Amino acid sequence: MLTDKHIEIIKSTIPLLENAGSALTAHFYQRLFSHNPELQDIFNMSNQQSGRQQVALFEAIAAYAKHIENLNALTSAVERIAQKHTSFNIQAEHYAIVGHHLIETLRELASEAFTAEVEEAWSNAYQFLAGIFINREAQLYQERAAKEGGWQGARAFTVIDKVTESALVKSFIFAPVDQQAVIGFTPGQYIGLEVHPTGNDYKEIRQYSLSDKPNGKSYRISVKREQQGVPGKVSNYLHDSVNIGDEVKLYAPAGDFFFVDRQSPTVLISAGVGITPMQGMLETLAANKHPQPVHFLHACEDNSQHSFAQRTAELVKNNNWQQNIWYRNEKPQQSHIKQGMMDLSSTDLPTQTGNFYLCGPIAFMKFAKQQLLSLGVGEGNIHYEVFGPHASL
């Protein structure tokens, strides 16, 4: 049970956490994978190499400590994490393992300050938070399994089509091996995909946005070949080695970033492969003959990297919507495509009444959000999705 005394002790350790910084979580993950290497079947090890996962975990721990008296402030973060956990098939027993290594990490890095009282407080605080996640994730698993076409855990799917969308992006369409129906989803959500690349010691699970409208029979994802920085182990494997007829495992659609019909104009803003959830939204809005105005804005390097260009132009034209495109490294030939960086002040956007959805590299979304705020868009009307570990804009 989490008592007032526990809360007082937790808050008193905030400076300790802040001084430790992401070194705390780096030590935690090293310890976790050393003692429980099987968890590498679940965790994205590329994010471990880039450091993004360590930063995200540290920020989550610090936020929990700061808001432990008012967990309502963390409701959106809890939902986002719980949704992501279900796409990894996280189970209650995993929390006990993680909790053990978190407490041992605190003991090893702050031995003098980590008294019996502090250990008791953090143990109770962790168990309290773990209970929240376990209950929410169990609810999500049960809800999805109970729906038509739903399931829990991994389900076998076959690749029924593989389509080149641009120089770096290929789409994969999956149908279930059992030839039964598949659960629907809300456009903007993602699906968990599990593969075991040749020569890899462990399985790999990744989340990819669903890039088409729901149809009850199949799913489509569109994957960018990641070549810069840490090469994408799974994206390159999908591009090079996964073909029509091959089998993969999928986890049911999840995610807290999705289109919500607020009876107002909709503005979809993306860059690069961030177009994928926007394409799913656009396809769905068109299929539903959405009555409100829609604005589609996208930025990419050049024509060769412009995914879904013909399809989006067709959807926009057929529905009398608005489209603006920016190519950073190419002078375009069409009037709705401009050269350079995305400039939202040059477009006629519903800044006072619209809802704005952003997806793309973090730097791009920060850039776009600041433009929107300067144009008078309310922060509550700006919704965004970060690929990989969460980061605040």
> In this predicted model, what pLDDT tens digit does every residue of 342-365 receive, in sequence order?
999 999 999 999 999 999 999 999
Q: What is the pLDDT of residue 180?
A: 97
pLDDT tens column, 362-379: 999 999 999 999 999 999
In this structure, of 51-55, 103-107, 134-138, 185-189, the range with the lowest mean pLDDT score is: 51-55
Give Cα 73 to chain centroid, integer Å.
20
φ and ψ of 345, to 5 deg: -70, -15
Half-sphere exposure of 173 (CA within 13 A, CB side): 13
Do residues 67 and 74 lie in contact, with contact meaning Cβ atoms separated by under 8 Å?
yes
The conformation of residue 294, written as its DSSP 8-state character, comes to E
Active site residue: 64, 126, 137, 194, which one? 137
For residue 286, the number of C-alpha atoms closer than 13 Å in the C-beta half-sphere is 21
CATH number assigned to the domain covering 154-254: 2.40.30.10
What is the rounded distance in angstroms from the CA atom of residue 189 to the CA atom of residue 208? 9
Q: What is the pLDDT of residue 336?
A: 81
- pLDDT for 230 beyond 80: no
Model's pTM, two decimal places? 0.92
φ, ψ at 354 (rounded to 5°): -85, 165
Parts of the chain belonging to CATH 2.40.30.10: 154-254
How confident is the model over 148-176, as a mean pLDDT?
97
61-70 mean pLDDT: 81
Kindly give, in sequence order, each residue whose CB lies less than 8 Å from that of residue 25, ignoring residues fewer than 6 positions away: 53, 54, 55, 57, 58, 61
* Bigger pLDDT: 330 vs 133: 133
Annotated active-site residue 137? The verdict is yes
CA distance 175 to 163: 15
- Residue 194 in this model has a pLDDT that exceeds 90: yes
- Of the pLDDT bands very low, low, confident and very high (cuts 50, 70, 90), residue 388 is low
Instruction: Report how far residue 304's alpha carbon sits from residue 168's, in angstroms, rounded to the nearest whole number.
Output: 9
CATH of domain 4-146: 1.10.490.10
CA distance 371 to 107: 45
In the predicted structure, residue 21 carries a pLDDT above the cut 80: no
CA distances from 381 to 30, 177, 264, 267 (A): 39, 40, 11, 10
Q: How would CATH label the architecture of 266-385? A: 3-Layer(aba) Sandwich (3.40)
- Residue 200 tokens read as 């890899």
Q: Which residues of the chain does CATH 3.40.50.80 include?
A: 266-385
Instruction: Specify burial of residue 50 (Cβ count, 10 A radius: 0-12, 13-18, 19+).
Output: middle
Q: What's 236-262 look like in SS3? A: HHHHHHCCCCCEEEEEEEECCCCCCCC
Rounded to whole angstroms, the Cα distance separating 162 from 242 reads 9
Please return the burial class of 200, using the count of CB atoms within 10 Å of its CB with bins 0-12, 13-18 and 19+.
middle
Query: Quick check: is 8 catalytic?
Result: no
Instruction: Band the pLDDT of 331: cuts 50, 70, 90.
Output: confident
Which one from 95, 126, 190, 251 is the annotated catalytic residue? 95
User: For the chain, where do the domains classified as CATH 1.10.490.10 start and end?
Assistant: 4-146
